[in-house]
Structures are given as structure tokens and as C-alpha cells.
Amino acid sequence: MKHLVFAHRGASKQYAEHTRAAFLQALAEGTDGVECDVHLTEDLELVCIHDPTLDRTSSGTGDVGDHTLRQLRELDFASWKGANIPPQYGGVADQLLTLEELIELLRGDGRELELAIELKHPSPFGLKLEERLIAFLMREGYDPETSRLANLHISFMSFNPDSVRHLLERVPSDVVCQLVADVHPEDVRETLGPLTAAAVMNLLRRALHEGERIIASGAVGIAGPGIEYVRAHPERVKRWLAAGLRVRVWTVDTDDDVDFLRELGVQEITTNRPAHVLRRLKGEPTTGRL
């Protein structure tokens, strides 16, 4: 079986996630594809950032959606990682990427590549995020029948069932991925406090159950569980595979997890360490340490 390896926010074990350096490194390592997250800026530009806020991965603070692209360009998205960026990967000021710039990098590689785009919710712009994304891709020459753009095969992912249903009306179902992850109350309480956490927990549980129903119904072509979810529910994942679904698992960084998923029959692996996982799948020597 041919396994597809997606670089999770680029080669983000080595360089800061979603940066030019991380994606260029992933391409240099021969990844089959890349995964990115998109948010809208205040001026409705699509940018490759995971969190709804800037605090964790930049020198800025506050919500992504409260900043224009020009304001984001003034921030440092790379130095927090502490990695030295080679000159060929650009300077610190070059590391933030719009989706347009990421696609330009991928098209420049020339190889046939997979691009998995995750739409991040909740978004202050609601489903306008999906509309702006599809409109942008169409302007770039995206073919909605084949889900291709030049050398790129594009798939769409979200944890949000409303987002997934919205995408299913606009792109082929076989390139739509419903993401799922178990909800851990302790993580939510630690972040939000007991009262707010209870309300959020209910929303997350409803979204998870609805997402599982969407997968089980065969409405989407790709199931996107996290590695912890797969280990907790292997029989469920086997049923998805038996039903003909592709399963794309995140975030897979250890040899044990790669071996487990290969034995299970999972076809697609998302990792922060693309070169390492590619070597493991080929049976070449690796070190399992992070």
C-alpha cells in the first residue's frame, strides 16, 4: 500500500510551524503533501496560522481576525522556535505566508503534491471563511470536479460539522475530511475554568458526535482522527477503512505510531517529521525519539 505523508504545518519539528522555512524544508525532504490551517485577517485575507490568536506563535498578541495582513507582516512568526533559518529559506520577515504564497511555493516545486487545508472554527467570520477560500481557489484556476490546481490535489478539513456540510455543497465529497478527536474535560477546565468549561464541553461533545455521524454515513471521503483517538477506538477506525474511507491520522511523530497505523491499514499520515516518517515507511533506519 502506498502511504501518503503530509507535513503538519510544514516540517514543524525543525522550524516554526506554518513558516516559509517549515514548508520549504518539508518539500526538500520529499513529503507527499503539506497540511495547513487558514484564518481570515481583518481585511479578509487567507493566512496560514493555526491559533485564532497570535500570542503563541508570533511576537504579537490578540486575535488574528482583528489584524490586517499588513499588520501581521510586521510581526515575527519564527524566532519563538529558536531555530536558525538558512538564507535560502528567507529572513525572519519573510516567514508569514498567505495561502496564496503557500500555493505559489508548492506550484514552484513542480512535483505532484497534496495540499490539505484545514478551516479553523469558531471563526469571527463564520462560514465566510469557506466562501472566501473557494472563491480564491477558483480565481487561481481550481477545478472543482477534480479538486486540482496545477500540480496540486487539494482536500479540505474541519472539526466543525457545519463547515464540512458547507464544503460538501461546493467540492467533491471524496476530498472533504471530517476531523475528530476525543474531548478531554481536564484539558478544557485547565484552560477555561469550571463554569465556562462545562458549556464548551457540551459544544465539543456535540460536534464530535455529529462529526462521527458524518463519517459513518459515508457523506465524506476522508476521516481525520488524531492518533490518540485511533488508539482509543481502533475497531471504529477499522470499520471506516472497511467501508472504503480514506483515513488521515494526525499528528504521528514516533516509530511506534507509524508502525501501528501501517498495521491497521491507515493510508495517510500527518506528521511534524516528514523525512523521519518517510524513512520509517520505507523500512530505512530511524531513531524513534522526538
CATH number where 101 lies:
3.20.20.190
Q: What pLDDT shows up at residue 184?
A: 74
**From first to last of its 290 residues, what are the pLDDT tens digits of the chain?**
889 999 999 999 999 999 999 999 999 999 999 999 999 999 999 999 999 999 999 999 999 999 999 999 999 999 999 999 999 999 999 999 999 999 999 999 999 999 999 999 999 999 999 999 999 999 999 999 999 999 999 999 999 999 999 999 999 999 999 999 998 766 655 555 555 656 677 788 999 999 999 999 999 999 999 999 999 999 999 999 999 999 999 999 999 999 999 999 999 999 999 999 999 999 998 865 55
Q: What pLDDT shows up at residue 172?
A: 98
**pTM (2 decimals)?**
0.96
Q: What pLDDT shows up at residue 53?
A: 97
Domain with 60, as residue range(s), is 4-178+214-282
The H or E element that residue 72 is part of is helix 69-73
Q: Is residue 288 part of a domain?
A: no
Q: Is residue 165 part of a domain?
A: yes
Q: Is residue 17 part of a domain?
A: yes
What DSSP letter does each residue of 9-58 carry, written as one string? TTTTTTS-TTSHHHHHHHHHTT-SEEEEEEEE-TT--EEE-SSSBSTTTS
Residues 91, 58: Cα–Cα separation, whole Å: 15
* Domains in the chain, number: 1
Q: Which residues are catalytic?
A: 8, 50
